[in-house]
């Protein structure tokens, strides 16, 4: 919670995040938070660039986990992690991981500090063994799509940006200088590092090709 709401000093944020990850790892990639706290766990890991940890948690099938709820026959979210049949079996608790599907894997986000027409951010996360993502959202701006398909050496991104909107795109890639947009070299690069590139696109439909992220890119922080 201190990470998400800004209570942790900048000099301590890395240590606090490491402590959170250490606790999750020590519990076999299980969370110890309940409904109120789990929201902050998801946001802290996502904002800290640790989608790899979130994925490890979501792939668990023993309690406490979503997989365990499914194994107990749940067809909707249960009230408690243990899927206790004496508690609600259709209860929107612990559903915060859905945010990771849209804001993490799909990378659809909003920068409230930017001008109104430039607030859209597309920052998809390629992590683990996930081979593809199809993500769309009907926003106040219009229809947004952020899809990707990972191949042996490159990932192909398929973006749709609504009319009258400009999106900042941020991608993890092992070769930032080889990113292409609609078949041509990307001329809109704002900044690049050894494993990340950032550029701006106007409204429209784009096919972006980029070399697969480096193996440690799932641990990279946001630019």
DSSP label at residue 169: E
- For the segment 191-210, the average pLDDT, to the nearest whole number, is 89
* Domain termination site, one of 99, 127, 150: 99
**pLDDT value, residue 188:** 62
* Judgement on whether residues 110 and 207 belong to the same structural domain of the protein: yes
Residues 129, 161, single domain; the answer is yes
Is residue 122 domain-shared with residue 61, that is, in the same domain?
no
Confidence check: pLDDT of 218 > 60: no
Is residue 215 domain-shared with residue 110, that is, in the same domain? yes
Q: What pTM was computed for the model?
A: 0.88
The verdict on 118 and 80 lying in the same domain is no
Side-chain-side CA neighbours of 180 within 13 Å: the count stands at: 10
Letter string b/e over residues 76-88, b meaning 16 or more CB atoms within 10 A of that residue's CB: ebbbbbebeeeee
Using CA atoms, how far apart are residues 15 and 5, in angstroms rounded to an integer? 16
Which has more confidence, 3 or 184? 3
Render pLDDT for 115-158 as a digit per residue (tens, 0 to 9). 877 899 999 999 999 999 999 999 999 999 999 999 999 999 99
Q: Which two tokens stand for residue 26?
A: 């020590």
Same domain, 12 and 114: no
Same domain? For 13 and 33 the reply is yes
Task: Name the H helices within 31-161.
Answer: 35-47, 51-58, 66-71, 97-99
pLDDT value, residue 195: 87
- Among 65, 99, 133, give the residue marking a domain's end: 99
Which has more pLDDT, 64 or 56? 56
The tally of domains found in the chain comes to 2
- Out of 132-141, 173-182, 192-201, which region has the weakest mean confidence (pLDDT)? 192-201
Q: Same structural domain for residues 114 and 190?
A: yes
The helices-and-strands tally (H runs, E runs) of the chain is 6, 12
Tell me the average pLDDT of the chain. Answer: 90
Find the domain containing 69 and state its range: 2-99
Closest by CA position to 30, among listed 48, 53, 47, 4: 53
Shared domain check, 197 and 116: yes
Indicate whether 187 pLDDT > 70: no
What pLDDT, on a 0 to 100 scale, did the predictor assign at position 190?
Answer: 64
Of the three residues 30, 65, 99, the one that is the final residue of a domain is: 99
178 and 93 part of one domain: no
> What CATH number is given to the structural domain containing 204?
2.60.420.10
Residue 92 has pLDDT above 50, yes or no: yes
Average pLDDT of 47-64? 94
């Amino acid at each position: 919670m201190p990470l998400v709401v800004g209570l942790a000093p900048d000099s301590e944020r890395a240590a606090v995040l490491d402590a959170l990850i250490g606790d999750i790892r020590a519990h076999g990639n299980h969370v110890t938070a309940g409904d109120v706290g789990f929201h902050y766990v998801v946001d802290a890991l996502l904002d800290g660039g640790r989608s790899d940890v979130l994925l490890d948690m979501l792939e668990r099938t023993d309690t406490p986990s979503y997989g365990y709820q499914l194994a107990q026959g749940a067809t909707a979210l249960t009230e408690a992690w243990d899927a206790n049949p004496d508690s609600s079996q259709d209860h929107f608790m612990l559903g915060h991981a859905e945010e990771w599907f849209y804001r993490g894997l799909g990378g659809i986000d909003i920068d409230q500090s930017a001008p109104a027409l430039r607030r859209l951010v597309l920052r998809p996360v390629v992590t683990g063994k996930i081979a593809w993502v199809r993500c769309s959202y009907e926003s106040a701006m219009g229809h947004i799509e952020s899809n990707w398909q990972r191949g042996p050496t490159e990932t192909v991104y398929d973006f749709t940006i609504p009319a009258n909107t400009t999106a900042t795109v941020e991608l993890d890639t092992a070769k930032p200088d080889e990113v292409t947009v609609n078949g041509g070299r990307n001329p809109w690069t704002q900044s690049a590092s050894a494993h990340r590139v950032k550029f701006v696109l106007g409204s429209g439909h784009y096919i972006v090709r980029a070399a697969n992220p480096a193996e440690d890119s799932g641990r990279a922080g946001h630019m």
